[in-house]
């Protein structure tokens, strides 16, 4: 079984690449972030023609998540149970479902903006709510994983130059402590194997030749419970999908399972 996560940075802009990638990659389940569309605008019909069911949590603007599956899509939960609000509303940042033998979440963790910003405090509250919401499944016997854009680099080695990020979000101790909370709940960081470079970055800024210079970050993460982690046979970042005209600034992270 092949599961992947990909921040597409607008599914409308990325649709031709997405459809081609699904056809060529053999992916059974895809977690999508940053759809930047409403649920009504989501291209469910085009994806259905390729054999994928869709579960969508999207209201437009810059958020939105989805799950695509060609192995079943059951017990869908839209949103983060117990999640905090921002500006008076719960943002569309989580959707979960059972896909064949695996329970899967697609999450788009708040960016945080700046350490002194209210969005940063909201990010930490959101991560605490996530930990509480997944604790039961994380401790269970069924393969379970939370995949998505976490907007956190787990270690200093997960950014191209830690000195550049001094005092900035994505690398602070409270954010990394929140990831540690997920590990304490029974989830493990499924780290992709390196391909071209030593560190499997997943995001590169469009500006200043970030991708050609490999000035990247590993912020698209796969956190799985013990049964999920023990079933992993391979994991890698599909750097090829970050290349060329019209690419997202994130690359897909792919995980193969023997389940």
Distance, CA of 187 to CA of 3 (rounded, Å): 17
pLDDT above 70: percentage of residues in the chain: 100
| Dihedral pair phi/psi, residue 182, rounded to 5° | -65, -40
Q: What is the pLDDT of residues 82-108, one digit of tens each?
A: 999 999 999 999 999 999 999 999 999
Task: Please tell me the predicted confidence (pLDDT) of residue 198.
Answer: 83
* Helix, strand, or coil (residue 137): helix
pLDDT at 195: 85
Structure tokens at 231: 């079933």
Instruction: Yes or no: say if 148 and 111 are a contact pair by the CB < 8 Å rule.
Output: no
**Residue 62's pLDDT is what?**
86
Contacts of 11 (CB under 8 A, 6+ apart): 18, 32, 35, 36, 37, 42, 43, 64, 66
CA dist., res. 142 & res. 27, Å (int): 20
Q: Give CA–CA dist 140/182, Å, rounded.
A: 14
**Residue pLDDT, tens place only, 146-204:** 999 999 999 999 999 999 999 999 999 999 999 999 999 999 999 999 888 888 999 99
Measure the CA–CA gap between 199 and 28, rounded to whole angstroms. 26
The fraction of the chain above a pLDDT of 90, given in percent, is 95
pLDDT in tens, 96-144: 999 999 999 999 999 999 999 999 999 999 999 999 999 999 999 999 9
Q: What angle, rounded to 10 degrees, do the helices at 118-138 and 173-184 form?
A: 10
Q: What is the pLDDT of residue 197?
A: 83
Domains of the chain: 2-257 (3.60.10.10)
Q: Which residue has the tokens 């509250």?
A: 125
Q: Are 59 and 33 contacting, i.e. CB atoms less than 8 angstroms apart?
A: no
209: buried, middle or exposed (CB in 10 Å: 19+, 13-18, 0-12)? exposed
């Amino acid at each position: 079984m092949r599961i992947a996560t990909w921040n597409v940075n607008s599914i409308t802009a990325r649709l031709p690449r997405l459809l081609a990638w699904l056809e060529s990659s053999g992916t059974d389940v895809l977690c999508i972030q940053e759809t930047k569309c409403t649920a009504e605008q989501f291209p469910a019909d085009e994806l259905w023609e390729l054999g994928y069911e869709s579960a969508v949590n999207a209201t437009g603007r810059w958020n939105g998540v989805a799950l695509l599956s060609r192995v079943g899509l059951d017990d869908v939960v839209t949103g983060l149970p117990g999640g905090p609000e921002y500006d008076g509303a719960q943002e569309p940042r989580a959707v979960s479902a059972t896909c064949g033998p695996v329970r899967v979440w697609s999450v788009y963790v708040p960016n945080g903006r700046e350490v002194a910003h209210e969005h940063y405090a909201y990010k930490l509250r959101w991560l605490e709510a996530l930990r509480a919401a997944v604790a039961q499944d994380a401790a269970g016997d069924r393969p379970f994983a939370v995949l998505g854009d976490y907007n956190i680099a787990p270690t200093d080695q997960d950014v191209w130059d830690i000195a550049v990020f001094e005092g900035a979000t994505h690398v602070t101790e409270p954010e990394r402590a929140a990831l540690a909370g997920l590990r304490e709940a029974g989830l493990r960081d499924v780290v992709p194997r390196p391909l071209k470079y030593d560190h499997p970055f997943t995001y590169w800024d469009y500006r200043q030749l970030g991708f050609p210079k490999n000035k990247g970050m590993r912020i698209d993460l796969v956190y799985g419970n013990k049964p999920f982690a023990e079933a992993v046979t391979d994991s890698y970042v599909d750097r090829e999908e970050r290349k060329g005209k019209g690419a997202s600034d994130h690359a897909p992270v792919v995980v193969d399972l023997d389940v």
